[in-house]
Amino acid sequence: MPMTRRWPTTARPSTSRRWVGPWAHTWTAPPAWCAWSSWAETEHTPMANIKRIDHVAIAVKDVDAAVAQYQGLLNATHVRTETLREKAGMVRVAYMQIGENILSLVQSLEPDGFINQHIDKHGEGLHHLGLEVDDLEGFIAQTEERGYKIPLRDEFSNRDEVVLRPRDANGVVLQVLQWKGGSDATVQDRIQHLQNQPE
């Protein structure tokens, strides 16, 4: 049976909390020697829920050629190609369906656009991972509360998004977004919405 220990009320806050220590002792509150005990008892912004990987984005030099490449290689389905004016520059994006996943092929339409800068430095390939969140404002608040920087925020007709620094995610660019009007239940619902967007 694990031992139960109680700390004097003069040494710990009066509100007791059950906490299981690393050696299976059960405490009514984190012991003072626990390095994160003060963090655990501090009120923080509730964590927003990361719902799923929304898409994987690939930086390409030629969207049309890349579409044909993925159709031939993986039998991917071309859903739609559109032009977007982002804060970081104009891009042309082709959405491909591969099973239950969405692949975004992204091409810069400006010589010094951010995709071309990425290709010049790293070559064609993985650019970012898109994550869908249920509360973007909550995610922003909790991220900044924990000391992380958000270098880019953007808004579109169908979504709001932020981009996190690669240095905070082991070199990976993370795009965190929230769809306006709610999340699609299935990838087929998402495909339908993409197909029905105005050109």
Q: How far does Cα 77 stand from its chain's mean position?
A: 24
CA dist 96 and 77 (Å) reads 5
**pLDDT tens track for 88-120:** 889 999 999 999 999 999 999 999 999 999 999
In the predicted model, is pLDDT for residue 181 greater than 60? yes
100 or 198, which is more confident: 100
40 or 95, which is more confident: 95
User: Residue 23: its pLDDT value, please?
Assistant: 45
Place of tokens 């220590």: 21
CA dist 139 and 48 (Å) reads 5
Tell me which amino acid residue 85 is: R
In the predicted model, is pLDDT for residue 47 greater than 80? no
H helices of 6-162, in order, are 37-40, 63-74, 114-122, 136-145
In the predicted model, is pLDDT for residue 59 greater than 70? yes
Q: Which residues contact 183 (CB under 8 A, 6 or more apart)?
A: 51, 132, 134
Q: Where are the beta strands (DSSP E) in the chain?
A: 4-5, 19-20, 26-27, 50-59, 77-86, 89-98, 101-108, 125-133, 152-155, 159-164, 174-179
User: Residue 15: its pLDDT value, please?
Assistant: 44
User: Residue 2: its pLDDT value, please?
Assistant: 53
Nearest to 151 by CA among 134, 129, 130, 167: 167
User: Residue 106: its pLDDT value, please?
Assistant: 98
- Whether this prediction's pTM lies above 0.85 is answered by no
User: Residue 81: its pLDDT value, please?
Assistant: 95
For residue 135, give Cα distances in angstroms to 11, 30, 73, 179.
38, 30, 36, 10
Where does the pLDDT of residue 183 fall: very low under 50, low under 70, confident under 90, or very high at 90 and above?
confident
**pLDDT tens track for 110-166:** 999 999 999 999 999 999 999 999 999 999 999 999 999 999 999 988 889 999 999
Domains of the chain in sequence order: 50-196 (3.10.180.10)
In the predicted model, is pLDDT for residue 3 greater than 80? no
Q: Interior CA angle at 30 toward 28 and 33, to 5°?
A: 140
3-class DSSP assignment, residue 10: coil
Strand order in the sheet with 26-27: 4-5, 26-27, 19-20
In the predicted model, is pLDDT for residue 49 greater than 80? yes
User: Residue 163: its pLDDT value, please?
Assistant: 96
In the predicted model, is pLDDT for residue 73 greater than 60? yes
